[in-house]
Amino acid sequence: MSNILSTVSPNEKRDTDKLMNSMFDPIFKSIVQNPNFRSLLSLIISYVTVYSPGYVYENLIFANTELSIENYKERKKITDIIVKVEGTIINIEANKSAKASMVAKNNLYHHKIAYDRYLSGSTVDNSEVFQLNFNVINRFDDRLFIEFSMKDDTGKFTDEENFKRIHINMVKPLEKYYNIGKESLTKLEKILVMFQITSRKELRDISKGDEELENMAKIIEDLNEDEHIIGLYDKEKMDEWIKKIDHEEAIKEGLEKGLEKGLEQGLEQGLEQGSNNKALEIAKNMLESDMSVSEISRFTGVSEIEIEKLKAEEN
């Protein structure tokens, strides 16, 4: 392990107030599927369905191919969270950005679940298919829940009522918490804030006096002591740092090569050629990171046509 990595070693004693953000994918999935979070998950689901919290609690099942256990070390890889309550299928997503690529991925997955239910048996399956998005970026307005369904242009008629997409605006309760205080929050809003808090003191304070919220706080604190979770979190930050350094080095190398070539064939031509070659190399590396063509073009200056050619060569 390098010296850089050792500064964020999972084995380092963590005696500070700092917590990892619980919207970090492995933490979020581990919380949602923890048995001690079941009552709070039932409360959330009751807000977007016709079922009461108690009914959801008694009838909720996880439909994932692989279910998590309480500890990340013991859990198998989870690619999604799908729950069922009677005739309702709910795909749960944690969204840390509003990038077009992430929105498209979630929407396509939602459509796939809806389509697959028709292939599950010989008869048509009319079960409801919801996608429940926990958004830490406010994509729409100040409403806590925003529901989308297929309607006509007047908004009076709904086509395929069973297909819905629901967005939770997690920004609003967090702003209330910091601007007005925890006393202004409902229990549901406290849950959403707790997913975003990164202070142990604040986490314990907001959950104090409510057994279910205290259970959630304990789940979060326990996950913050799980060396496998810590390692993943640190790796993500390190990958971002390495990508930034690699990009800066690539630009520097491209300029140096351009200057050298410019001395031989003309400064202007050399700079242009060196910069263009390096931009193509960077674009090629970005393709391997599954970035969209439009994003790569905007970042590197390489045309989308050239990037599509690179993509075809890779395939």
* Residue pLDDT, tens place only, 175-228: 999 999 999 999 999 999 999 999 999 999 999 999 999 999 999 999 998 887
Closest CA to 109 of 137, 129, 125: 129
Residue 116 lies in a domain: yes
Is residue 10 situated within a structural domain?
no
Mean pLDDT computed over 262-267: 51
**Boundary (domain end) residue, out of 192, 225, 258:** 225
Same domain, 173 and 248: no
CA distance to 101, 138, 253, per residue, from 98 (Å): 8, 8, 33
251 vs 23, residue with greater confidence: 23
- Helix ranges (DSSP H) in 184-226: 187-194, 200-207, 211-223
Residue 238, sorted as left (phi over 0), alpha (psi -120 to 50) or beta, turns out to be alpha
Q: CA separation (Å) from 37 to 32, 213, 215?
A: 6, 9, 7
Please give the pLDDT value at position 6: 36
Identify which has the larger pLDDT, 291 or 73.
291
Whether the per-residue pLDDT at 2 is higher than 50: the answer is no
What local confidence, expressed as pLDDT, does residue 5 receive? 35
- Among 225, 257, 274, the domain boundary falls at 225
pLDDT digits (tens, 9 = 90+) for 86-124: 878 888 988 876 565 555 565 555 556 555 655 555 444
Q: Which domain holds residue 265?
A: 230-314
For 276-295, write each residue's pLDDT tens digit. Answer: 666 677 777 777 766 777 77
Global confidence as pTM: 0.63
Residue 278: closest CA among 304, 247, 307: 247
Give the count of domains, the chain. 2
Question: Which residues, 6+ apart, have CB-to-CB distance to 262 below 8 Å?
Answer: 268, 269, 270, 271, 274
Which of 170, 196, 225 delimits the end of a domain?
Answer: 225
Asked if 58 and 86 sit in the same domain, the reply is yes
Q: Looking at the structure, do residues 47 and 109 belong to the same domain, yes or no?
A: yes
Exposure on the CB side of residue 179, measured as CA atoms within 13 A: 6
In a domain, residue 13? The reply is no
Mean pLDDT of the chain, nearest integer: 75
